[in-house]
Structure 1
């Protein structure tokens, strides 16, 4: 039985700790915020729609909402500046917000939206927040088995030769894993560790762009020919691995790992997308270093 985020934190006291959660007002993000705050943490919940976030999170004590649009590098810089100006050290950063399989969309910079939001926004945010990320902190990136769909597309990351929404999603989720691999390599000497994870299949607003044929693609047929959807878990269960990655003493002294079901995932061979495991290309340290350098060049931000 998959635990909930609250069950993962049972017996853990986060009083005096500060956690930042992007997208902490919808889907599993709400449950991550709820669990961390319930364990005593002060939670900074960044939101593209802060008014909605205020309504959703109003009943959770110890939560501070701020405006952040990860697809807008100016917004990332402004929000990071506000956090730094508060003078509070960050003990946990959870890169949770994201978009999935959206129609082709370009940011003001001309960047493909999924890569811009899921990876480059979080890359720039963590680098800008680096002065506040203290010894013992953990940086956690929510990836997905969607990374099985595509390695990083070095020859055409922006889909200038034709857009595929699922390859775009897969590339951005691979980038999340590679980001954690290299951040951990850079930050471990300063006592900061990084992780990435698959939260499991959860029905949330992340799937708002999905069409009937998209659900058919991830479904199987029963004996009567009816579609059977994957084994979806609740948002409370979906939040569990992110919370575990952020707090578990089992991960002390470890980092750069891809996690699922509150455990370290196994490396699985390349091939069609499966429901579990991590591809070796997403953990490749050379590719991770290459992506970091590329991201620094694109965003103009590099704390290291």
Structure 2
């Protein structure tokens, strides 16, 4: 099968039998991942740590890239056999160094979970002048995946899972002003743009990678209280239903959107290992299923589940891919 014959997986629920309260351990069940290798960015904190733990428990060899090895060592100490390596997703040199080291090992890469990210930061730019949320959440993972492409091909059946967000509803890619040079910076617009980019990246990567037995998925894990929210004020956390009467940051009401960390990790793990997704890819998933499409007219309905049109637009995905190659100077050897 080549790209021209790629058959797009319908963006429609499979009725998997799972749901918003399903945990990552329930998804993994008795699946045996012995002999499999997985890289989990952000795999030492929050959702990433739970994904690392559950995949390792099933037998996978886990590599966790981290900006702070000292912090990561303490976090993953209870997970046997985890390999740690330095990686800063906002630094192209660091990305290349990490990927080159892994590539020299000659190992296949069966699972790549692009989980690390930042959210709602103040206006910042990377060393190239790119808006930091877009640079970290999308461009960093784009470059990392490109550099790891030979290892993904070697697996002869790999999956790439990129963590998006329901915040993609905040808007599509502003191709004319990606870096907020002509408009006032808005931390939520910037975050939403980066998470739309994550979904579009999975769509185009799946189209290009399917012929090489590499399938890609994007995931909305739900609203979970992790260190990702460190840049938010208490008032913002309260508005999200994530601040209790004592001022502690915690989910105050469990809904299909609000989850514990084990529940939030469930869809990520499902996309990484489930046989229900064999032969499928390029879809946006949530609540341990493929999400349903939502028409743009429903944008003002708070908490509505699903994926909006601009995050599953094939033409926008192609345009973003070409732009990402230009901005990073990196091309996939597909």
Shorter-chain TM-score tier:
over 0.9
Equivalent-residue separation in structure 2 for 1:241 and 1:85 (angstroms)? 31
1:141–1:196 Cα contact (<8 Å) kept: yes
CA distance change for structure 1 residues 297 and 230 in 2, over 3 Å: closer, same or farther? farther
Equivalent-residue separation in structure 2 for 1:194 and 1:186 (angstroms)? 10
Cα RMSD after superposing both structures: 1.6
Taking structure 1 as the reference length, what is the TM-score of the superposition? 0.95
Equivalent-residue separation in structure 1 for 2:254 and 2:330 (angstroms)? 39
Equivalent-residue separation in structure 1 for 2:253 and 2:230 (angstroms)? 16
Equivalent-residue separation in structure 1 for 2:167 and 2:325 (angstroms)? 24
User: Where does the alignment leave 5 or more consecutive residues of structure 1 unmatched?
Assistant: 221-226
> Which position in structure 1 is the counterpart of 2:231?
209
> Which position in structure 2 is the counterpart of 1:223?
none
Matched, 1:152 2:178: no
> Which position in structure 1 is the counterpart of 2:79?
60
Q: Could you report, residue by residue, the CA deviation over 1:84-132 in whole angstroms, capped at 9, with x for unpaired residues?
A: 0111100000000000001111111111110000000000000011011
> 1:230 Cα shift?
6.6
> Which position in structure 1 is the counterpart of 2:199?
177
Equivalent-residue separation in structure 2 for 1:66 and 1:102 (angstroms)? 25
Matched, 1:188 2:192: no
Question: Stretches of 4+ moved more than 4 A in 1?
Answer: 227-230
2:111–2:272 Cα contact (<8 Å) kept: yes
CA distance change for structure 1 residues 254 and 33 in 2, over 3 Å: closer, same or farther? same
Which of the residues 100, 122, 143 maps onto 2:164?
143
> Which position in structure 2 is the counterpart of 1:249?
275
Equivalent-residue separation in structure 2 for 1:64 and 1:119 (angstroms)? 24
Equivalent-residue separation in structure 2 for 1:5 and 1:228 (angstroms)? 21
Equivalent-residue separation in structure 2 for 1:25 and 1:275 (angstroms)? 30
2:171–2:310 Cα contact (<8 Å) kept: no
> Which position in structure 1 is the counterpart of 2:130?
111
With 288-297 and 262-271 compared, the bigger mean Cα shift is at: 262-271
Which of the residues 35, 38, 52 maps onto 2:54?
35
> Which position in structure 1 is the counterpart of 2:32?
13
Equivalent-residue separation in structure 2 for 1:266 and 1:218 (angstroms)? 23
Equivalent-residue separation in structure 2 for 1:6 and 1:212 (angstroms)? 31
User: Where does the alignment leave 5 or more consecutive residues of structure 2 unmatched?
Assistant: 1-19, 243-250
Equivalent-residue separation in structure 1 for 2:252 and 2:215 (angstroms)? 39
Q: Secondary structure at the match of 2:113?
A: strand
> Which position in structure 2 is the counterpart of 1:263?
289
Equivalent-residue separation in structure 1 for 2:23 and 2:85 (angstroms)? 26
Q: Could you report, residue by residue, the CA deviation over 1:30-78 in whole angstroms, capped at 9, with x for unpaired residues?
A: 0000000000000011111111111110111121111110011111111
Equivalent-residue separation in structure 2 for 1:247 and 1:154 (angstroms)? 34
Equivalent-residue separation in structure 2 for 1:145 and 1:275 (angstroms)? 9
With 48-57 and 26-35 compared, the bigger mean Cα shift is at: 48-57
Equivalenced residue count is 298
Q: Secondary structure at the match of 1:201?
A: coil
> Which position in structure 1 is the counterpart of 2:9?
none
Q: Could you report, residue by residue, the CA deviation over 1:210-240 in whole angstroms, capped at 9, with x for unpaired residues?
A: 11332354359xxxxxx96674311111111
> Which position in structure 2 is the counterpart of 1:198?
220
With 208-217 and 149-158 compared, the bigger mean Cα shift is at: 208-217
